[in-house]
């Protein structure tokens, strides 16, 4: 007598849409609850004296200080200065990096000519270029914006070039079989395959832009969130310093979320089925 093997479908197989929605709700709940629990534990530890308030002020104290800085206009002025530098530098650097990545990805000769040179420049710490930029352009906004643009250019270029070179040759052969022109090849094959890599590069680069501008504002500048953090440290004022750190963290989260949402909106074909 042979045994009968019964295979029952899982909940995901029976109703994949409902399972995917439930999974997304769980992920969102974890994304909110995890930092909330950390803040609650931090607050309790600070209030009970388990950690020194001098170095680790309670989150409610940081929020109170942030409110005072907003009412005085200091925080908004610093945030506006940092945002302006990040946006201008990010747009310039990402546009140049995407163009370079696309050009070098499509042309083997251009890749052979410029890839070693750009790869060598990529390894140079970008903050090390700030003194050179200050020497050439002087004090002001230009060196800071250019430093952000340079920092964004390289990861965008590398990611976009890799995305173009990774396009399967079968896609191009299929387009040629249907008599596609060079413009049709670019529009219907290369460009749709290139765009997802571009948004991956933008998501990486926006974080790099914020990291670099904060470091640059430590060294040079009389405004910006990075300057406020460094200035607060020099005066041994922990609360304004934590306000600046929290603002940078929230700014990075907001920018990354916006780029990700824009990519999902513009590139529905590049999203997994359970994310659509």
Which domain does 223 fall in, by range?
57-275
Domain boundary among 56, 76, 91: 56
Number of structural domains, the chain?
2
Residue 111 forms part of a structural domain: yes
**Which of 150, 263, 167 lies closest to 208 in space, CA to CA?**
150
Q: What's the pLDDT tens digit per position in 91-126?
A: 999 999 999 998 888 888 888 888 888 888 888 888
Residues 83 and 135 in one domain: yes
Is there a contact between 92 and 145 (Cβ–Cβ < 8 Å)? Answer: yes
Residue 230 forms part of a structural domain: yes
- Taking each helix axis from N to C end, the angle separating 141-165 and 130-137, rounded to the nearest 10 degrees, works out to 130
- Region 146-171: mean pLDDT is 87
Rounded to an integer, what distance in angstroms lies between the CA atom of residue 71 and that of residue 80?
15
Residues 46 and 66 in one domain: no
Residues 108 and 40 in one domain: no
Residue 1 forms part of a structural domain: no
- Taking each helix axis from N to C end, the angle separating 59-72 and 238-266, rounded to the nearest 10 degrees, works out to 80
pLDDT of 2 above 60? no
Q: What's the pLDDT tens digit per position in 185-231?
A: 888 778 888 888 888 889 889 999 999 999 999 888 788 899 999 98
Is there a contact between 197 and 163 (Cβ–Cβ < 8 Å)? Answer: yes
Assign residue 221 a region (left: φ > 0; alpha: ψ between -120 and 50; beta: otherwise). Answer: left
Residues 125 and 31 in one domain: no
Rounded to an integer, what distance in angstroms lies between the CA atom of residue 111 and that of residue 120?
14
Residues 49 and 66 in one domain: no
- Residue 274 is predicted with a pLDDT of 46
């Amino acid at each position: 007598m042979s045994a009968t093997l019964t295979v029952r479908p899982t909940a995901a197989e029976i109703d994949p849409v409902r399972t995917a929605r439930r999974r997304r709700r769980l992920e969102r709940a974890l994304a909110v609850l995890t930092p909330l629990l950390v803040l609650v534990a931090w607050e309790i530890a600070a209030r009970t004296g388990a950690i020194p308030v001098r170095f680790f002020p309670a989150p409610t104290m940081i929020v109170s200080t942030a409110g005072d800085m907003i009412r005085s206009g200091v925080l908004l002025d610093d945030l506006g200065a940092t945002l302006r530098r990040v946006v201008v530098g990010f747009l310039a650097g990402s546009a140049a990096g995407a163009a370079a990545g696309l050009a070098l990805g499509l042309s083997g000769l251009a890749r052979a000519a410029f890839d070693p040179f750009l790869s060598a420049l990529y390894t140079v710490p970008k903050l090390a270029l700030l003194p050179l930029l200050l020497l050439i352009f002087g004090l002001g906004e230009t060196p800071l914006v250019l430093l952000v643009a340079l920092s964004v250019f390289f990861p965008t270029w590398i990611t976009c070039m890799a995305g173009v070179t990774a396009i399967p040759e079968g896609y191009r052969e299929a387009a040629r079989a249907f008599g596609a022109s060079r413009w049709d090849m670019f529009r219907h094959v290369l460009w749709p395959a290139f765009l997802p890599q571009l948004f991956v590069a933008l998501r990486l680069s926006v974080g790099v832009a914020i990291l670099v501008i904060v470091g640059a504002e430590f060294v040079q500048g009389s405004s910006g969130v990075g300057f406020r953090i460094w200035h607060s440290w020099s005066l041994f004022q922990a609360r304004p310093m934590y306000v600046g750190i929290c603002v940078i963290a929230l700014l990075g989260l907001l920018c990354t979320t916006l780029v990700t949402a824009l990519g999902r909106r513009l590139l529905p074909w590049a999203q997994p089925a359970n994310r659509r």
